[in-house]
Amino acid sequence: MNFTASALLATARLHGWLPPSPDSATDAEVLTQMTQELRLGMASLLKSVHQDYGVESATVAVSGGTAWLPKACSSLAVQSVAWVNGSQRQRLTALPAVSESDYPPTMAYPAGYYLEGSNLRVPGGWTGSVTVRYQALAPDLVATSAAAQVSSVTNATTFVTSSTPAGWATSGLSLDFISARPGAPVLQREVAAARASNTFTVASTSGLAAGDWVALAGESPLVPLPPELLTLLALRTAAQIAAASSAANAPALATILAKNEAEALKLIAPRQPQAVPIVSRYGPRGRRWR
């Protein structure tokens, strides 16, 4: 199944009767609306039945008491933080914004953490690492022409793509590795990369395989949803564009969308095991049935 953003864009135009630009929204505008629907409408729908949808964890370095949060994590999305001590994890308490002098570095272990913009602060000037559990922000959806598909993985640090977007630099790239499997899980985030033509060099190609995609950090040419929900995202996108432009088909699209959302909830809701009725093996007067 084709679950690229480019293919879903065409589906949204089909469902919404949206002609190609310039008579309608441009491809970039449709993808922007689709990203918004993915981050708000679809994320809310999935979280309503699967609480851990989109939750990830990452271990990040702490230097002088400061750790940079992953690009896919906003400070509002942090769920828990644990101090890494060898093979053990010490869960840290969320603190209000504090004076650093309240927590001297002579303490046996960090007292906790607090958030400061896009930074995570571990008061006391600690250096080490923390594991952050957070709700990952859905990527900016881009056309396949704005990403590169892997044609081969040469070794543990090198891979080759079939083509490369013209605007990509030859050094200082920050890439996300995106699996071509349904759901488009992110294999690695914010990978530092350099390239010579279509050959890329990175610290590790772990998890990457031919057919997967690489994109600028925070972007994706693939839609990170279960395949069953792709059409629903296309419908949501078309309905929002139609409503915003007061299109004649906006009411009909809203009706179709409501019906499809109800069906989607039935599809993705966790199944409750059906109780097995207990049938007595004994009849009147305690005699066993034959």
Q: What is the CATH number for 210?
A: 2.40.10
Share of the chain above pLDDT 70, in %: 89
Q: Residue 39: its pLDDT value, please?
A: 92
Higher pLDDT, 168 or 285: 168
Q: Do both 78 and 43 map to the same domain?
A: no
Decide if pLDDT at 81 tops 90: yes
Which of 104, 135, 166 delimits the end of a domain?
A: 135
Q: Do both 85 and 111 map to the same domain?
A: yes
Count of beta carbons in the 10 Å neighbourhood of residue 121 = 22
Q: Do both 34 and 9 map to the same domain?
A: yes
Decide if pLDDT at 279 tops 80: no
Most confident of 10-24, 95-109, 268-282: 10-24
Decide if pLDDT at 54 tops 70: yes
Decide if pLDDT at 107 tops 80: no
Asked whether residue 96 is domain-assigned, the answer is yes
Q: Do both 170 and 195 map to the same domain?
A: yes
Sign of CA dihedral 70, 74, 77, 83: positive
Average pLDDT estimate for 220-244: 92
Cis amide leading into 165 (omega within 30): no
Average pLDDT estimate for 225-254: 90
Domain residues for 237? 1-51+227-245
Q: Do both 234 and 215 map to the same domain?
A: no
Q: Do both 63 and 37 map to the same domain?
A: no
Residue 227: both structure tokens together:
């395949």
Decide if pLDDT at 126 tops 80: yes
Q: Do both 38 and 106 map to the same domain?
A: no
Average pLDDT, the chain: 88
Higher pLDDT, 30 or 272: 30
Q: Do both 60 and 36 map to the same domain?
A: no
**Closest alpha carbon to 174 in 157, 196, 191:** 191
DSSP helix/strand/coil, 263: helix
Asked whether residue 253 is domain-assigned, the answer is no
* pTM for this prediction: 0.83
Q: Do both 106 and 64 map to the same domain?
A: yes
Q: Do both 39 and 81 map to the same domain?
A: no
Average pLDDT estimate for 107-125: 85
Report how many domains make up the chain: 3
Q: Residue 22: its pLDDT value, please?
A: 59
Q: Do both 150 and 197 map to the same domain?
A: yes
Asked which of 14-18, 61-65, 142-146 is least confident by mean pLDDT, the reply is 14-18
Asked whether residue 196 is domain-assigned, the answer is yes
**Closest alpha carbon to 20 in 10, 6, 7:** 10
Q: Residue 230: its pLDDT value, please?
A: 93
Decide if pLDDT at 202 tops 80: yes
